[in-house]
């Protein structure tokens, strides 16, 4: 542990998931003296999972949030390649594309409209990414054509990364350039003195504190602001042996993702359980995930299950992540609630948050619905939304 008499850190980050470690990398790049405080080990939360789907929002009813995510997915590849070059570690990233099976005439009509809108929103001539409807029977070597009687959408913007490899590369960078302390839980902060209270250990001092503890960050946020703005939602995934399927696109079908990875595995997930008593993977859920995936992907039949995993995702009551300074505070920031899209947007979230700290202009402005003002006070909606 650093001694409490040491010079204060410029910034302390509570939580070493994809948000916390991405923020730490950006802080270090901006020359801030940075410490990451992690209650367990890095990747102990939802970020230590298996799926790694980096999926765009649909190109319909465009808004600042969709544009932010679009920009994030456009810039993520360069970001990841730079991290890989800095650390010599692979993040398992590939622009794999995605298939969406069309099961009804309504869906076909709907996606034909989206394909049309993608020509304006995704700017294919400039970006090279397309969203097209293909006829029934397309890509039937991977997606059972019976599962897509009205054809498919094939889009080329979607990518995948290995969550564990991506996180390990970030953690290696932070360890090398700054301080990453594991087994250190943040329990409070005296803003006047800049003193961070740690569970069972001596305090340390930092000029700014970022709460990026995933779903547990909502407890600390409530402690600081007096409002609970989010919750945890359980999800489950598994890895199958996927030898020979490495180059296949991801599939998204009826809420389920199938994501082939470059190491010869296929990740399948996730479910959403708001009410859960146990954070461990449930064997019944695993069986259900496998059966559903095999029903539209016959090449998954007979594949060995390599790993089962469950995690608790942070979800804000108002859906979008909360990123920025807490109401009434000058020094405490929140960065959580990425729910299903954290991996694709974390690097831009980190840029926005650190720019907020340093007073610089972010690469892309944070959507209004990501800002604390959207999540607290009069805007607080019922938690059952
Ligand atoms: C089954 C499943 C599949 C998913 N698939 C995808 C996907 O394909 N693509 C995608 O983008 N997202 C996916 N997600 C969502 C994604 O995993 C989460 O949104 C993301 O990991 C949240 O990251 P985080 O950094 O906010 O929180 P976490 O990863 O939960 O990290 C929080 C960290 O903070 C630590 N911590 C908590 N409290 C404290 C404290 N007081 N002091 C210090 N440390 C603390 C925890 O130990 C933890 O390590 C999936 C989630 C699940 C469950």
Calpha distance 37→183 (Å, rounded): 8
Q: What is the mean pLDDT of residues 315-331?
A: 96
Looking at every residue in the chain, the average pLDDT score rounds to 95
pLDDT at 22 over 90: yes
Identify the pLDDT of residue 276. Answer: 83
**The residue to which tokens 């607290």 are assigned:** 376
The model's pLDDT over 232-263, given as tens digits with 9 standing for 90+, comes to: 999 999 999 999 999 999 999 999 999 999 99
Q: Is 306 in the pocket of ligand 1 (CB under 6 A)?
A: no
DSSP secondary structure letter of residue 298: G
Q: Is 260 in the pocket of ligand 1 (CB under 6 A)?
A: no
Calpha distance 163→365 (Å, rounded): 26
Identify which of 13, 21, 42, 47 to mutate to test ligand 1's pocket (most ligand atoms within 8 A of the CB).
47
Q: Is 212 in the pocket of ligand 1 (CB under 6 A)?
A: yes
DSSP secondary structure letter of residue 226: S
Secondary structure (DSSP) of 29-88: HTT--EEEEESS-TT-SGGG-S--EE-PPPSSS--HHHHHHHHHHHHHHHHHHHHHHHHS
105 CA to middle of ligand 1, Å?
37
216 CA to middle of ligand 1, Å?
10
The model's pLDDT over 103-113, given as tens digits with 9 standing for 90+, comes to: 999 999 999 99
53 CA to middle of ligand 1, Å?
14
Q: Is 338 in the pocket of ligand 1 (CB under 6 A)?
A: yes
Q: Residue 5 class from Cβ within 10 Å (0-12 exposed, 13-18 middle, 19+ buried)?
A: exposed
The model's pLDDT over 118-145, given as tens digits with 9 standing for 90+, comes to: 999 999 999 999 999 999 999 999 999 9
Atom of ligand 1 nearest to the CA of 257: 8
Atom of ligand 1 nearest to the CA of 20: 25
Calpha distance 341→356 (Å, rounded): 22
| Both structure tokens of 218 | 């909502």
| Both structure tokens of 366 | 């944070």
Nearest CA to ligand 1 atom 2: 235
pTM: 0.96
CB 302 within 8 A of CB 241: no
Q: Is 95 in the pocket of ligand 1 (CB under 6 A)?
A: no
Tell me which of 380 and 50 has the higher pLDDT: 50
Residue 274 — very low, low, confident or very high, per pLDDT cuts 50/70/90?
confident
Calpha distance 244→11 (Å, rounded): 45
Contacts 24+ apart (CB under 8 A), 253-257: 253/100, 253/101, 253/147, 253/292, 253/296, 254/292, 256/289, 256/292, 256/293, 257/51, 257/53, 257/55
Q: Is 12 in the pocket of ligand 1 (CB under 6 A)?
A: no
Q: Is 46 in the pocket of ligand 1 (CB under 6 A)?
A: yes
145 CA to middle of ligand 1, Å?
35
Residue 377 — very low, low, confident or very high, per pLDDT cuts 50/70/90?
confident
The model's pLDDT over 201-226, given as tens digits with 9 standing for 90+, comes to: 999 999 999 999 999 999 999 999 99
Q: Is 270 in the pocket of ligand 1 (CB under 6 A)?
A: yes
Q: Is 39 in the pocket of ligand 1 (CB under 6 A)?
A: yes
Considering the chain, what percentage of its residues have pLDDT values greater than 70?
A: 96
The model's pLDDT over 57-86, given as tens digits with 9 standing for 90+, comes to: 999 999 999 999 999 999 999 999 999 999
CA dihedral 341, 305, 275, 188 (to 10 degrees): -60
Nearest CA to ligand 1 atom 35: 15
Torsion sign, CA atoms 276, 280, 284, 287: positive
141 CA to middle of ligand 1, Å?
34
Q: Which residues contact 252 (CB under 8 A, 6 or more apart)?
A: 53, 55, 98, 99, 100
pLDDT at 383 over 80: no
Residue-range domains of the chain with CATH: 9-48+164-231+317-379 (3.50.50.60), 93-158+232-312 (3.30.9.10)
| Both structure tokens of 300 | 């998954």
Identify the pLDDT of residue 2. Answer: 44
Q: Is 38 in the pocket of ligand 1 (CB under 6 A)?
A: yes
Residue 350 — very low, low, confident or very high, per pLDDT cuts 50/70/90?
very high
Atom of ligand 1 nearest to the CA of 220: 41
Identify the pLDDT of residue 271. Answer: 73
Identify which of 1, 12, 15 to mutate to test ligand 1's pocket (most ligand atoms within 8 A of the CB).
15
């Amino acid at each position: 542990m650093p001694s409490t008499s040491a010079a204060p850190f410029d910034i302390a980050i509570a939580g070493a998931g994809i948000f916390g470690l991405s923020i730490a990398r950006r802080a270090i790049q901006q020359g801030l003296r940075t410490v990451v405080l992690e209650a367990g080990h890095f990747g102990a939360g939802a970020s230590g999972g298996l799926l790694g789907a980096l999926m765009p929002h649909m190109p319909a009813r465009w808004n600042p949030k969709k544009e932010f995510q679009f920009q994030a997915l456009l810039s993520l590849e360069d970001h990841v390649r730079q991290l890989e070059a800095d650390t010599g570690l692979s993040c398992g990233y590939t622009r794999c594309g995605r298939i969406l099976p069309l099961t009804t005439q309504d869906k076909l009509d709907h996606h034909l409209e989206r394909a049309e809108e993608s020509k304006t929103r995704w700017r294919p001539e400039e970006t090279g990414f397309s969203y097209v409807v293909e006829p029934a029977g397309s890509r039937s070597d991977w997606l059972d054509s019976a599962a897509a009687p009205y054809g498919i959408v094939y889009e080329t913007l979607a990518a995948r990364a290995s969550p564990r490899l991506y996180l390990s590369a970030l953690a290696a960078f932070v360890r090398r350039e700054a301080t990453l302390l594991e087994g250190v839980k943040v329990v409070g902060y005296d803003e006047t003195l800049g003193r961070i209270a740690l569970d069972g250990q001596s305090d340390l001092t930092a000029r700014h504190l970022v709460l990026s503890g995933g779903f547990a960050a909502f407890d600390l946020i409530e402690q600081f602001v007096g409002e609970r703005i989010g919750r945890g939602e359980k999800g489950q995934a598994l890895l199958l042996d996927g030898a020979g399927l490495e180059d296949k696109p991801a599939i998204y079908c009826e809420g389920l993702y199938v994501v082939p990875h470059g190491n010869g595995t296929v990740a399948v997930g996730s479910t959403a359980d708001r009410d859960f008593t146990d954070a461990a993977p449930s064997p019944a859920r695993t069986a259900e995930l496998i059966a559903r995936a095999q029903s539209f992907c016959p090449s998954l039949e007979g594949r060995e299950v390599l790993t089962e995993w469950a995690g608790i995702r942070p979800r804000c009551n108002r859906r979008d992540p909360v990123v920025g300074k807490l109401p009434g505070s000058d020094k405490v920031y929140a960065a959580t609630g990425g729910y299903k899209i954290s991996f694709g947007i974390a690097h831009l979230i980190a840029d926005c948050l650190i720019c907020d700290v340093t007073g610089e202009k972010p690469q892309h402005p944070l959507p209004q619905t990501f800002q604390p003002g959207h999540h607290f006070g009069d805007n607080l909606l019922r938690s059952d939304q």
